[in-house]
Amino acid sequence: MTVKVLLDTDIGSDIDDAVCLAYLLANPECELLGITTVTGEAVKRAQMASAMCKVAGKSIPIFPGREQPLLREQLQPTAPQAEALERWDHQIDFPEGQAVVFLRDTIRAHPGEVILLTIGPLSNIGALFAMDPEIPSLLKGLVMMCGVFTNRLAGIGPLEWNAMGDPHATAIVYHTPVRMHRSIGLDVTCQVTMKADEVRRMFRMKLLFPVLDFAEVWFRERDVITFHDPLAATTIFNDQICQFERGMVEVELSSPRLSGLLHWRSDSQNGPHEVALSVDPERFIEHYFGVLGKY
């Protein structure tokens, strides 16, 4: 049995989106129905996704999505890793302005079967839920790399990029009931990292070659990757990597300085949201490279 997945991504900024897409393309349990991109230079982001799909030998529908948040200014106007595209075969042109409609139509074509995986700011998803309020009830689940919930690691501030990138869309998504509404936040994902030298040594599988090329752009400014997005993806297929707790998430909109802050309250009986509170990093690494190594 495979799991039908739709991926919404801002690939091209942090390297973890490409690391996540490689996992989905390699995973025999994943039926990737389509990819939508979000934030600035959405077409370049779509081109990066297409380059990885070509390496995988898969034809996946790809749609550039919203480049602007619902109300605030764009915090992420460019896709810097796209500079590596010239070294990889990729699709050039894409149908534009159709990403949200594509998501709607695909979910409606497979009621109760699709996991929507979001690993970027939530502009596309907020627009989708606002346009067609029935869509959330037709999902099998919503899995998001989003937020900060426990602040148990030093150096993690209260705000997280995907939540603050379009806070009004974030509020729409968290205020909408979904059968499985799951969040994996920075306080958990920041526990799974890899230094640049080890990345260069470990990323020797076919599907990780373009990722490693994109990563060299990332490594110009830092010497580590954090597995934010792939960690969220692996929880769809392996329930032993993260432990979740039910509760309620509220989104801060009243303070301009803290817009997009997520307030978390545990409620194991009636909470509509699942939040990751712990991770087994070794189990994640074993699972991730086990999947990539078999492709």
CATH label of the domain that carries residue 133: 3.90.245.10
- The answer to whether 244 touches 274, Cβ cutoff 8 Å, is yes
CA distance 61 to 58: 10
pLDDT confidence of residue 154: 66
Q: What residue numbers bound the domain in which 283 lies?
A: 3-293
Check pLDDT > 90 for residue 295.
no
Counting the structural domains of the chain, the total is 1
Q: Which of left, alpha, beta for 97 (phi over 0: left; psi -120 to 50: alpha)?
A: left
| pLDDT (tens digit per residue) in 70-87 | 999 999 999 999 999 999
What is the pLDDT of the chain when averaged over all its residues?
A: 96
CA distances to 9, 38, 76, 107, 133 from 166, in Å = 14, 11, 11, 23, 19
| pLDDT (tens digit per residue) in 31-45 | 999 999 999 999 999
Check pLDDT > 80 for residue 54.
yes
| pLDDT (tens digit per residue) in 138-196 | 999 999 999 999 877 767 888 999 999 999 999 999 999 999 999 999 999 999 999 99
Q: Which of left, alpha, beta for 218 (phi over 0: left; psi -120 to 50: alpha)?
A: alpha
Identity at 201, one-letter amino acid code? R
